[in-house]
Amino acid sequence: MAERRCVSVPFWDANLYCFGEHFSGPNWFTRLKRNVAILSVIDADGNCVYNNFAVSGEYKTPGAPLAPEEGPLQSIEAADENGRVFDRRHDAEFKLLTGLCGAVPVEQRPSWTASATLWSKKPLCRSCAGAVSQVEGLFPRMSVAIVVGEPKTEEDGEPEVPNGKRLKINGCPVVPSSSRPPCAVPPFAA
């Protein structure tokens, strides 16, 4: 039988084709130039209260929330990695922390016990670090863990992310949204 060889053909216009990267699954984050963040919050009873992702920027990203016009947190102007200074209201972390504040009623916040994990692909800027401090003030009984950078490898069978690593948030494997059950409705939202 004749040996078959694959011929490599360069795609000079490959940037015109999305190859499915922009429309589904966690592979969307692999080539993203903006920052991406995930916030997962588990209450004292083990209920998933908030679990969302956001992408930095003013423009609409498929599946990602937009920055609210007003909210309980105050953003400040801070420099990016290139030295450009602008209002950080559109940062991924700021969007998520503001979303969490909207998910828990104001009167419940002082006594509400929870554990939050904020994962950010890039280090937090001064404004986002300030937003975390504001959230800690609004939720004094909530512990906030901040994870920066690529996810750590786990060897216990969680789904793979595009970089070949496995991702866990709050000790729970992250699974595609199409196959995971929805977050339980916390008692205050029922």
Q: pLDDT per residue over 14-48, tens digit each? A: 444 443 444 444 444 455 578 889 999 999 999 99
**CATH number listed for the domain at residues 24-189:** 3.40.140
Of 20 and 183, which is predicted with more confidence? Answer: 183
**Is the pLDDT assigned to residue 184 strictly greater than 70?**
no
Greater confidence (129 vs 164) lies with: 129
More confident residue, 25 or 89: 89
pTM beyond cutoff 0.85: no
Q: Grade residue 11 by pLDDT with cuts at 50, 70 and 90.
A: very low
Residue 176, pLDDT score: 40
**Considering only 71-80, 96-105, 145-154, 179-188, which range has the smallest mean pLDDT?**
179-188
* Residue 89 pLDDT: 83
What DSSP string runs through the chain? -----PPP---TTGGG--TTTTTSSGGGGTT-SS-EEEEEEEETTS-EEEEEEEESSSS--TTPPPPPSS-SS---EEE-TTS-EEEGGGSHHHHHHHHHHHHS-GGGGGG--EEEEEEESS---HHHHHHHHHHHHH-TTEEEEEEESSPPP-SS-PPBPTTS-B-EETTEE---TTTSPPPPPPGGG-
